[in-house]
Amino acid sequence: MLTKQIRVLTLNGGENRETTLYRLQKGWILRFNLGPSLFVSPVRIFCNHPTKKNEPFDRNKYTELKWNSPSGSKVDRHDLFAEVQIHTAGSFNYYFTADGREPSESKDRQHADGEGYFLVDPILSLSTNDNPSEEADDDEEVEELCLDSIQCQTVIAKLLGPFPEWEGRLKVSYETGYNMIHFTPIQELGQSNSAYSIRNQLCLNPSFNTKDKKYGYNDVEKLVNEMVVNWKTLSLTDLVLNHTANDSPWLQEHPECGYNLVNSPHLKPAFLVDRILLHFSLDIGDGKYEAKGIPDTIDKMEHLEAIRRVLQEEVLPHFKLHEFFTMDIEIILRDFKRAIEEARPIASSRPQLDLIQDPQYRRNKSTVDMNTALHLYNTDKPGVSSRAERIQRCCGDFKAKLEDLNRHKMAEVQDHLNTAVSNFVANVKYRFVDGHGPRIGKVSAKEPLMWNYFVQPKSYDGTLAAEEVNMDGDSGKLIMAVNGWVMGDDPLRNFADPDRYVYLRRELIPWGDSCKLRFGKEPKDCPYLWQHMKEYTEKTVKVFHGVRLDNCHSTPIHVAEYMLDAARKIRPDLYVVAELFTGSECVDNIFMNKLGINSLIREALSANDCQDQGRLVYKYGGTSVGSFIQPRVQPLLPTTAHALFFDQTHDNESPVEKRSPYDPFPSSAIVAMACCATGSNRGYDQLVPHHIHVVNEERLYMSWATWDLPEPPFMNDKFGITAGKKILNQLHYQLGVTGFSEVYVDQLSHDTVAITRHNPINHDSYVMVARTAFHHPHNPKETGYIRPLTLDGDITEIVFEAKFSMTDGYKYEKNPKYINGLPNYYLDIRENLSPEASGLIKVRKQGDSSIVDFHTFTPGCVVVVKQVLPTRAKNAILKIRRGVSQFGYLMRSYSGRTMFDESFDKSNFHAIVSKLTLSDMNIVLYRCDSEEKADGNGFGAYDIPGHGPMVYCGLRGLMAVLAHVRPNNDLGHPLCNNLREGNWLSDYVAKRLQVHPTTKDLGQWFEGVLGHLKDIPRFLVPCYFDTVITGAYVVLRDQAMKLMSEFIQDGSTFVHMLSLGSLQFCGFVKNAKLPKLSEFVKSTTPKVDVDHPLSLAAGFPHFASGYMRNWGRDTFIAIRGLLLLTGRFCDAKLIILAYGGCLRHGLIPNLLNEGSGARYNCRDAVWWWFQAIQDYCKFKGTDILKEKVARLYPSDDSTVHQPGEYDQPLYEVMQEALQRHAEGLKYRERNAGTQIDDQMKDEGFNNEIGVDWETGFVFGGNEHNCGTWMDKMGSSAKAGNKGKPATPRSGSAVELVGLSMSALTWLEKLAAQKVYPYDGVSAIKNGVSTKVTFKDWCALIKSNFEKHFWINVDQEAEYEPHPELINRRGIYKDSFFAKPFWADFQLRPNFPIAMIVAPQLFTPEHAWIALTQAEEVLLGS
């Protein structure tokens, strides 16, 4: 049983992913993870995917998903995940909230913090289950048709003839190798007989009936099932939801279902314009405008200009169309005057006066809000002599405003009319004048200048005056808008809505035989229509396995959602396709997500040339050859829509007339090599040289014949390219079901393309070469120059080759009854040939490659060859797979057998890795450029041309790149280019490890496995290199976790990621050694190389090696997380002791420089050192206090001592540090001046440490130096900040007071337990040496801390000697008694350090206030 595939989707706050397409398959698991923006939020996630198998889908029923934690931690949320078990096809929505509100059964878009969709592909069963809603049992073997193996042919149903004749005509599709047939609508058609103008959705087309029988849906269902049983062929049909034939009887009975002039009165002006233009067209046909330059035959540009002029200057102005939008000023003025005279009260008013459109669109019935008019224009008029005069002046001002409003509206209407005329003339130009148009010629009632936008009963036809009368009253309900298409329009908006002027502006490309349906927002808005179309949908999907959503981009999404929900209740695995013309992939994805569209129809005929057509295959036809092997658990990445890739759709002209007769077969071969569903149109294979029109065509398709030389109404595989198409369809199917999922497109010449389908398991390939003919070739028998094709490996077989030719023995004559194609072109096909037997190509060997020369390859030719890897390459891949199987991966041999190496000899990867230490892991996984170079072995960071040096020399540096390249399958990345071009990177990985004794075996393992990459085709190198490196990295990472503490091993992924910092920062660097340790330490730490202790880098890349690597402050801030929590206690101990040996002036050095070159210019490192010792003792006990420290400087002025010259216990070194602070000390840095710091002022080299015995606070520094972290020194003389600390922190820094309190509290306890031999220090008070116990010192600090560091929310004069410096309250000061004084009052993030290590210093109430301030001000939350 295959392990389930898991796709991981990371949620981020505020993300709306409705325009992002995610595809999943049934049986997979969708896993939701929290992104960084949601870690601290109470996220609740809801999804409407059914929780149980076979549970009906309800898009409004959401289930809250449960969060799971692998680590079981209630605090660490980084590993939380929620899962959806995918078992239902369709499209599903998820959303989440991040504020902890109560769940709601229905989706609340207004309060969702993020949402998205995922699409689940259906399983197309080749079963004839009588109840398609009942799925087969899990154990039942059901043959399936995968989406990428679909070969669909469109048939125009009305051309199939009487129903008893269907099987013979459909057998043509079956015999040509199609496994799905797309039927255009099979329902009763309207008077136009257009295949998409349905008159009655619930009845079959009566043309299918015979004299003896009337056929219905049940008969079609029986035939469809027989096609599945006998032919293994599925069926789909169109679902036409957006319009109905304008002569549909039910529409006359229920006119509310259309956009009529009663329910949509905003269309009245557009209707009148439509009738004006129709009468104008009829008058032209009658010759009435010949005197004005418009004859009854339109064929010149000057005729168009005359039409434009007459319409704009004579015809349209006569009808005063602006009156439907304007107001009668005199009537409104009378009402205004009357209201003033009556002193009518004003209920409410608006800020400005606007014209209010009459909702019934009557002439001059628009108005204004009278309350607003009175408020704005019934005003005092200074200087008037009487009330009557005031009213007269108010009316005058009001009239001027009304005229202005009318004037603006008239200009707006005129703009609409000008656009209408331009669009009308443009349509006339296409129909009557343009060379690529139909060039109709004479204008008549049958061929008007432009088709109507509205339909009305025949009885309504009359004069324009009479027709305008019909617009009003109940008669208007039978005047309805036709449907159509608006180029470039927003498909998410309804072009018939009141706020749109599409019909008035003549922007619609109309379908005059069909009325647009008016559903409203929900079923109650038009109950009959919703129920009628639902019944139509249900009848349809009960018969067919799939539907094509006709005119999908113009179908209201909420309507299509409703109908498809009903459809999937009947057929859960419904296959839904559509052809979208939105012009935007994002908008396409909205339709796919909302409706659950499985495939979008694409067409090769849209390509402009051969190269463009090849790009379509690359875009829609599968992953690239040599793609990366993806893990079972992988990120869910956005995808492009699955394609149903047609060589020609039924809507478009024949490729014979658009291109040439030589092109259909090579173009269909190109399509057949795409790794997606493919399709064609009936007639394409027979080389029908004209468009089989869905409206005008009345002839029937021919039926299949098994005999030679059939005549219409019969045909066989000798007609057109039928035989060749069958071979292509069979090939496409086999490639799909046998795993040839990778595609490569190679343009050999302007008209010749090679397409490879590659199997990533056995690495066999099928390569097709096709020579297209987008234009009729000048010499059809000439090959010309075609670049030779080089293939890695051997060509074992020519699957088939086909040459397209013309004969003079036949001539095309259009059959009056049956659709026929060109008889004078034929295919010469040869199958299953040896390479030597080909008549089209010559194959020659060149090393391990095969070169294909094109010997006789004329336009229309196609050849398909099978290519296999050479034996050497095959063996190399098997050896790589065996090596990778040592990681525990289930690799497979070429036969499909699982390869899993469980041996554990010394050459096994796990055996080698098990010997590595964490120090070795630093070498294997990490090390930046300068660390590597410090070894002197000639290695540094690998420089990837076009990308730059890797961040790390070890495997993690590669993983940083591969982590992006692999999931995105970015085979064009510079890393992949470098791998394909040579073996340098493989050699680098192995050889850099071989120079170290402890990693030599691992380097040899890599050399052995990666060495085989030299013998495989270069296009496969990135894939296998990634497999080896990624697998090795995972094993090494897991092994590193095993060597760390249980806390790490049992932690979350986030904890594991953090723990890698221990490997990253901790290592041995030859030019950045720690001072030598006491020989005594070797006896207490026997398992560690005491002569080469590891150190912690202060940062990468600038603080990784040399004198800049080791910094006291940075080391002891980081040591708890990097070494203690990870269980690396020996490494931590050696670092503590090494730095302790450098104590001088009572301080731990800031910049270590191997001890002999140390700088003592920081006051905080010693206190972080104390904290590190305390933390170490909590983990491992206090034995470390007795460890010997090899002192470099026994006194401040001594020279460097060697180990053994002056060793003393750690506790004595600690006590010395405390004592030196207690006594106080002033000193000047050695070698002071620009040679050690070229930014610092001279005064800055003067240092001071001590304790203020009034408060107990440690203090030090001056305003010219930086003695704590936040130690940026100004460096710009121009800016005036050179030598000035950016963050002055002299005096008593808050975190140092906290750290000293932590150390003293701890030592007080140890002294009481007789573990630490000192209980206090000697202090100089008033010139007298006085003993101060740790207990007293702690009490002194505690009694003064809040007093001197807290800035109260309210003013406290007693503790605020300088209130003028306080600019923020409710905080803890950053320092006490700093210079300059204002520095004390800065809000900085240092007080939480003191709060963590010495919480006893803080009042809880104050602590919460300060933390809240920090969160709001510093974090900005």
**Cα atoms in the Cβ-side hemisphere of radius 13 Å centred on 1047:** 13
Q: Where are the alpha helices (DSSP H) in 1011-1160?
A: 1021-1042, 1046-1049, 1053-1065, 1080-1084, 1112-1119, 1129-1140
Nearest to 1029 by CA among 1066, 1002, 1059, 1054: 1002
Its sign, for the CA torsion 306, 307, 312, 313, is: positive
Residues shown for the chain: 1421
Contacts of 1181 (CB under 8 A, 6+ apart): none
- Which residue in 49, 553, 642, 973 is the catalytic one? 553
* 1169: Cα separation from own chain's centroid: 48
Q: How far apart are CA 764 and CA 913, in angstroms?
A: 35
Active site residue 550: yes
Q: How far apart are CA 463 and CA 453, in angstroms?
A: 18
Q: How far apart are CA 117 and CA 592, in angstroms?
A: 9
- Which residue in 550, 751, 792, 929 is the catalytic one? 550
DSSP string of 838-849, one letter each residue:
-SSEEEEEETTE
| SS3 label, residue 99 | coil
φ, ψ of residue 731 in degrees (nearest 5):
-65, -45
Q: How far apart are CA 202 and CA 280, in angstroms?
A: 39
DSSP 8-state secondary structure symbol assigned to residue 1051: S
Q: Are 1403 and 1346 in contact (CB under 8 A)?
A: yes
Q: How far apart are CA 995 and CA 1003, in angstroms?
A: 9
Beta-sheet pairing, 825-833 with 1328-1333: unpaired
Q: Are 491 and 553 in contact (CB under 8 A)?
A: yes
Q: Are 1294 and 1374 in contact (CB under 8 A)?
A: yes
Contacts of 564 (CB under 8 A, 6+ apart): 537, 574, 576, 595, 596
The total of other beta-carbon atoms located within 10 Å of residue 59's CB is 18
Q: Where are the alpha helices (DSSP H) in 217-294?
A: 217-231, 249-253, 268-285
Beta-sheet pairing, 1350-1351 with 1225-1228: unpaired
What letter represents residue 422's amino acid? S
Structure-token match 């059959």, residue found? 815
Its sign, for the CA torsion 49, 55, 58, 64, is: negative
What are the angstrom distances between the C-alpha of 707 and each of 683, 711, 715, 822, 827?
20, 10, 9, 20, 18
DSSP 8-state secondary structure symbol assigned to residue 432: I
Q: How far apart are CA 1038 and CA 867, in angstroms?
A: 40
Q: Are 859 and 751 in contact (CB under 8 A)?
A: yes
Q: How far apart are CA 635 and CA 1258, in angstroms?
A: 52
Active site residue 380: no
- Which residue in 296, 328, 335, 651 is the catalytic one? 651
Nearest to 50 by CA among 427, 572, 560: 572
| SS3 label, residue 75 | coil
| SS3 label, residue 1006 | helix
Active site residue 690: no
Beta-sheet pairing, 180-183 with 234-239: parallel
What are the angstrom distances between the C-alpha of 354 and each of 269, 325, 617?
21, 13, 56
Structure-token match 């140390």, residue found? 1158
Contacts of 67 (CB under 8 A, 6+ apart): 43, 45, 80, 81, 82
Tokens at residue 732, please?
Answer: 């496409």
Catalytic residues: 550, 553, 651
